A = this chain, B = another copy of it.
Amino acid sequence: MENDPISRYRRFSRAVTRQVGALDQSFLGRGRPLGAARVLNAIGQGRCDVADIRTYLGLDSGLASRLLRSLEDEGLIETRTHPDDGRRRIAKLTATGRTEFNAYENLSDEAADRFLSDHPAPDALLEAMDLIATAMNRHAVAIERVDPTSGDARYGLERYYAELARRFEEGFDVSLSCDPEASDMVPPRGAFLVALSDGLPVGCVGLKGNGSTLGEVKRLWVAPDARGAGLGKRLMAAIEDEARALSMDTLRLDTNRALPEAYELYMRNGWTEIERFNDDPYPDFFFEKRLV
């Protein structure tokens, strides 16, 4: 065989196609066509809006309607009209539907567990999977405002701190840095954003405020896997929007010489280098931007 990139990609593609096919087969074992199973799964995942289900699964409206009807006849879901819009419909699992949904979930979970536990180095495998999934989702990264103490925020921050510790010559200990209070990064004082790639945090940024029109951008991080797609720029634009919404007119931030790509990002996006404005031991450079 050739071992050029395309052959290697295609070998990967064959392997996962087989794996995906095997899972579909196991889904059929529950005596329901795949189409109906997919709709049930979409609803179980919390997609209740019928139009949403339709676009998510790429279904024709007639087909979607029939699949919903078949699930309803089985007693797995209930539909009712949307409270705000009488044309739209909402689907919800019944108790038996929940049970059946869980059965599908278990099939998926078991397939995952079987694969991972069969391997001597599951951590390496998972890192490879994250890398690939992030690459495949790279044009569908969603930025969401979350509480800085939420699981997703903490996950991002931990990876951020770990990376600083690796990259700073002097290491990094968050307790020595001026770690903002969580309450300063929650509206109405500030905000905290995470970038999610199909649920996995691949970036974050915080906005620390004190009630005045001056804000400070903190904790900008983009996961290594997700770099090169302009996510840093998107996060900065999003946090500036948050600042504007909080009536701020000036933002500041600091950064370290071990993070040249951050320095470049600020330079390219309207930030001006200014004098040191704090006595945090880590930063080497200080920036300001006036919002318009």
Count, chain A residues at interface, CB 8 A: 56
CB distance from A166 to the nearest CB of B (A): 17
Partner of A3, one of B121, B137, B155: B155
Q: Mark A8-19, 1 if CB is under 8 A from B, else 0.
A: 111111111111
Q: How far is the CA of A107 from the CA of B4 in the complex (A)?
A: 17
- Which residues of the partner chain B approach A7 to less than 8 Å between Cβ atoms? 199
CB distance from A203 to the nearest CB of B (A): 14
B17 close to A20 (CB less than 8 A): yes
Partner of A11, one of B1, B128, B151, B200: B200
Count the copies. Answer: 2
User: A15-B136, A16-B20 are contacts. A200–B129 as well, Cβ < 8 Å?
Assistant: no
User: A20-B17, A23-B13, A200-B3 are contacts. A8–B136 as well, Cβ < 8 Å?
Assistant: no
- Which residues of the partner chain B approach A129 to less than 8 Å between Cβ atoms? 8-9, 11-12, 128, 132
- Spot the interface stretch: A90-98, A111-119, A173-181: A111-119
Counting from the closest, the 7 A-B pairs by CB-CB distance are A120-B228, A1-B199, A128-B128, A12-B129, A9-B112, A15-B133, A15-B136
